[in-house]
Structure 1
Amino acid sequence: MCARVAEIMTDDVVAVEQTTTLEAVARQMLGRDIGSVVITADSTPYGIITESDIVSAAYQSGRPLADIPTKRVASHPLVTIEPNRSIRLAIKRMQDERIKKLVVVDGLEIQGIITMQDLIDHYDYLSEKLQTVRDQRQRDPSWPRR
Structure 2
Amino acid sequence: MRVRDVMTTDVLAADAEDSVRAAVGRMLDEGTGSVVVEKDGNPAGILTKVDVLDAGHEYDRPLSEIPVYAAASHPLITVEPSATVRAASARMFDYGVHHLPVADGLDLVGVVTATDLLEAQDDLLAEARGADERREEWEE
Query: TM above 0.5, one fold?
Result: yes
- Count of residue pairs brought into register by the alignment: 139
* Secondary structure of the structure 1 residue equivalent to 2:46: strand
Cα distance in structure 2, aligned partners of 1:113 and 1:40: 15
Residue from 117, 122, 127 that aligns with 2:125: 127
Which residue, 90, 97, 105 being the options, matches 2:103? Answer: 105
Task: Give the superposition deviation at 1:60.
Answer: 2.1
Q: Which of 66, 73, 76 is the aligned partner of 1:75?
A: 73
Segments of 5+ residues of structure 2 without an aligned counterpart are none
Partner of residue 144, structure 1: none
Taking only aligned residues, the RMSD between alpha carbons, in angstroms, comes to 1.1
Matched, 1:85 2:92: no
Deviating runs (4+, > 2 A) in structure 1?
A: none
For 2:65 and 2:72, the matched residues in 1 are separated by 15
TM-score, normalised by the number of residues in structure 2: 0.94
Query: How far did 1:130 drift?
Result: 1.5
Identical columns (%): 37
Q: Give the Cα–Cα distance (whole angstroms) in 2 for the partners of residues 37 and 63 of structure 1.
A: 21
Is 2:29 the partner of 1:31? yes
Structure 1 residues 22-61: aligned runs within 5 Å:
22-61=20-59
State the partner residue of 1:118: 116
* TM-score, L = length of structure 1: 0.90
